[in-house]
Amino acid sequence: MKANAFAVLMAISLLLTCAVLGEQQQAAPVRFEWVNVFIDSKEKPLAAYQFELTAKSGDVKIAGVEGGEHPAFKEPPYYDPAALSNDRIIIAAFNIGKDLPAGRTRVARLHVQVSGVPEYAIKLVVTASADGKEIPATASVSQGEGR
C-alpha cells in the first residue's frame, strides 16, 4: 500500500517535470518573419516620416531593417543599432528630392525573430511634406513569414 503511494508520487513528480519541460520546449520554437510598415499620406507627397514600432506580445527580436518600396525611401532608414535584438525600434527617413510617394506606401520592412504570436503597436511620430510641414497620415503594419 505504502509502496504504491510512493510509486504514484514519483510518477506524478515525473509527469509534472515532463509537462513543464514540454511547455518550455513548445514555447521555444523560433521562426523568422517580416513586418512591413506602411504610411498612407493620402494625396500629399511624403518627404519625411518617423515612427516607433513595439512588439506588444510574443517574444520578438528585431534582426534587420530594409528600406521601402518607393525609390525615395529605398535606402535603409535611420534606426538605432541598439534596437536590433530588441522588441522596440524607432525608424525615420527623409528625402529632399522631388520624386516622392503619395498614398499608401511601404516605407520599411523589418526582419524579426519571433516565438509565440507577435502583435505590434505602431506609433506614427511625424510625417512631413517636401516643404518640411507636418501632414496628416496613418501607419499600419502587415506581417508574414519568410522573405
Partner 1 sequence: MTTPKNNPENEFHAPRELAEGLARLHGASPAVPPEMDAAVLAMARRHFARRRAARLVVRWASAVAAAAAAVVIAWAATRSGNHAAMPAAGQGSAKSLAMKAPAIGLDVDSSGAVNILDAFALARRTQAGAVTKSEWDVNGDGAVDRRDVDAIAMAAVSLRRGGSRR
- Residues near partner 1 (CB under 8 A) are 2-3, 6, 9-10, 12-14, 16-17, 20-21, 24, 27-28, 47-52, 59, 61, 78-80, 82-83, 85-94, 96, 123, 125-126, 128, 132, 134
CB 49 within 8 A of CB 132: no
Burial annotation 54-70 (CB, 10 A radius, 16+ → b, else e) = ebeeeebbbeebbbbbb
Q: How far is the CB of 134 from partner 1 (least distance, A)?
A: 7
CB of 36 to partner 1, least distance (A): 19
Closer by beta carbon to partner 1, 18 or else 71: 18
Decide whether 5 or 147 has the Cβ nearer to partner 1. Answer: 5
At residue 81, the 3 state secondary structure works out as helix
Q: What's the CA dihedral at 103, 107, 109, 114 to 10 degrees?
A: -80
What phi, psi does 111 have (nearest 5°)?
A: -105, 130
Residue 7 beta carbon to partner 1: minimum distance, rounded to whole angstroms: 9
Q: State which residue, 58 or 143, has the beta carbon closest to partner 1.
A: 58
Type of residue numbered 3: A
Q: Is the Cα torsion angle 26, 119, 81, 70 positive or negative in sign? A: positive
Nearer to partner 1, 38 or 73 (CB): 73
**Between 82 and 146, CB nearer to partner 1:** 82
Q: How far is the CB of 112 from partner 1 (least distance, A)?
A: 12
